[in-house]
Structure 1
Amino acid sequence: MTSPFDLSGRTALVTGSSRGIGRALARGLADAGATLVLHGRDPERAEEARREFATAYGEDRAYAVAFDVTDAESVQAGVREAEEKAGPLAILVNNAGIQHRVPLFDLDPTDWDRVIRTDLTSAFLVGREAARGMAARGGGKIINICSVQTDLARPSIGAYTAAKGGLRNLTRAMTAEWAGSGLQINGIAPGYIHTEMTQNLVDDPEFNSWILSRTPARRWGTVEDIAGPVVWLASSASDFVNGQTIFVDGGMTVVV
């Protein structure tokens, strides 16, 4: 029997996958059999990721596109290029995002706009463009990468918190409009994940102690902890799951 988690023959675009968590999520999808379109704003970095995936999975399962996820025309051209190269998109992971740590009293409105555009508006733009084709074909999976800040707040990251909270409701709005066309749209909300980019926080004894005490699982998350749920939401195993945001946080958001 074919596993319901098998993604063979399906093409996935993962935004912000030229490095970091996005690259790890793309690897998880590729391990499950998907053909990957790697994405970044920097064409050279995206191509470097493509070469790595081509070596691991084959030239016919690794492609790259570079476009600005915050610009509607660039998104339209980028999604078109992705499908011309790799075939119709069956899976989209909206992972691209940024962080900007400044107290709200000091936050410049241009930085507020930049975070909202990158972390929220981009998911609307890329999601809508990918969904047009998915709806016409009668099916598709969109996975929006949220955060524990979808449900919680910390000082100095107000714009990020607002964007991730909005992303959960965007997920619901997409479901309300597109589920009838055969799409499943869901969110993954990671907790604190140990990556190269968070290594300085792991190395900070005070912050590390706070994370461990605040997380019932008593550890940081790993990229593999996120990749598994993403594969599930991308697969046929989740065909009746829609509009949900699943927290992958070691229990952080369920305790006082």
Structure 2
Amino acid sequence: MDFSPLGAFSPTLLAGKVALVTGSTAGIGARTAEQLASAGATVILNGRSAESGHAMRAELEASVPTARFDFVSADYNRPEELDAMFAHIRETHGGLDIVCHTTMTDGAGPRPFMETARSDWLAAVSGIYLSLLEITQRAVPMMIDRGGGAIVSFASDAAKVATPGEAVLGGALAANCMFVRAAGLELARHKIRLNAVTPSITRGTKTYDKVMANPFSRRLFEKAEKRARLGVASAEHVAPMAVFLASPLASHITGQVVSVNGGISAA
């Protein structure tokens, strides 16, 4: 039996909290923003395209009319844009309690390592790993000022399960997850928790469309989909885990990497 996760959390669970969701103009990021808002948070959307961002803001305001949304355009490859985004959050919203960071890369999808180029390696490391470091280092001082906070990174089961064609992506994703584990221990003294959500193939996302459009990766993930005994997850099934980890319900959980994959593996 399927269900709609919207409304699954109390609308006051995150009341008074300010949440930034990076890469939230589509897919898992957008659905995470929607569900954080339905739990009472003020949500700042982020993406590189102002047109996509304002369109998604309008969509989410219609979906959760009681919530407050904002949108800030910023590119994680441009430190000055990140600085401006966090300055805007401080000035406009008074601080920051939650970050949900979707991993982003413009590089190649699954591909045999010997067919990858140096540009693919750099895109994976920058988009998947360095972007998390950039966001975290700017968010933490604001969270310390608020007495604590929660950072949730989205990675992938490729960080934990070796898969042909994902040597480059998997390596960058594993770095992302190890950072969450180690920084989660470091920052616990400030009451700041870091955790990661690792989906597998996820329907309703641009990544899904990209993977399935490539003959090599389509063969891999069509096999994976057959192992999803609970059904292939969609963005709506993945997002609630991020809301849980960002909320007081997970007040004693940090440094953890949690799979949401429909039973494809026990990663």
TM over 0.5: yes
Q: Does the C-alpha gap of structure 1 residues 5 and 192 become closer, same or farther in structure 2, counting only changes over 3 Å?
A: farther
Describe how 1:1-256 pairs up with structure 2 within 5 A.
Answer: 6-58=13-65, 61-98=68-105, 100-101=108-109, 102-197=111-206, 198-199=208-209, 209-217=222-230, 219-254=231-266
For residues 127-176 of structure 1, what are the alpha-carbon distances to aligned partners after superposition, in whole Å with 9 as ceiling and x for unaligned? 11011110232210100101111101323332211111111111012112
Between the aligned partners of 1:220 and 1:25, the Cα distance in structure 2 is: 18
Return the structure number with greater helix share.
Answer: 1
Between the aligned partners of 1:251 and 1:5, the Cα distance in structure 2 is: 31
- Structure 1 runs not aligned, ≥5 long: none
Between the aligned partners of 1:83 and 1:216, the Cα distance in structure 2 is: 44
Q: Aligned letter for 1:248?
A: V
Alpha-carbon distance, 1:192 to partner: 1.6
Q: Does the C-alpha gap of structure 1 residues 70 and 179 become closer, same or farther in structure 2, counting only changes over 3 Å?
A: farther
Q: Aligned letter for 2:258?
A: I
Query: After alignment, is 241-250 or 205-214 more displaced?
Result: 205-214
Q: Aligned letter for 1:100?
A: A
Give me the CA root mean square deviation.
2.5
Q: Aligned letter for 1:35?
A: T
Determine if contact 1:151/1:253 at 8 Å carries over to the other structure: no
Q: Does the C-alpha gap of structure 1 residues 110 and 202 become closer, same or farther in structure 2, counting only changes over 3 Å?
A: closer
Determine if contact 1:14/1:22 at 8 Å carries over to the other structure: yes
Between the aligned partners of 1:253 and 1:146, the Cα distance in structure 2 is: 15
For residues 44-75 of structure 1, what are the alpha-carbon distances to aligned partners after superposition, in whole Å with 9 as ceiling and x for unaligned? 21122222223343597010001111333322
Q: Percent identity, please.
A: 27
What is the total number of aligned residue pairs between the two structures?
253
Q: Does the C-alpha gap of structure 1 residues 215 and 177 become closer, same or farther in structure 2, counting only changes over 3 Å?
A: same
Alpha-carbon distance, 1:87 to partner: 3.2
Determine if contact 2:18/2:41 at 8 Å carries over to the other structure: yes
- Structure 2 runs not aligned, ≥5 long: 1-8
Alpha-carbon distance, 1:84 to partner: 2.3
Between the aligned partners of 1:185 and 1:4, the Cα distance in structure 2 is: 23
Determine if contact 2:25/2:53 at 8 Å carries over to the other structure: yes
Query: After alignment, is 157-166 or 96-105 more displaced?
Result: 96-105
User: Which residue pairs with 2:5 in the alignment?
Assistant: none
Q: Does the C-alpha gap of structure 1 residues 234 and 97 become closer, same or farther in structure 2, counting only changes over 3 Å?
A: same
Between the aligned partners of 2:266 and 2:258, the Cα distance in structure 1 is: 12
Determine if contact 2:205/2:235 at 8 Å carries over to the other structure: no
Q: Aligned letter for 2:53?
A: A
Between the aligned partners of 1:192 and 1:208, the Cα distance in structure 2 is: 7
Determine if contact 2:46/2:73 at 8 Å carries over to the other structure: yes
Determine if contact 2:132/2:153 at 8 Å carries over to the other structure: yes
TM-score (norm 1): 0.89
User: Which residue pairs with 2:4 in the alignment?
Assistant: none
Alpha-carbon distance, 1:211 to partner: 2.3
Alpha-carbon distance, 1:208 to partner: 6.3
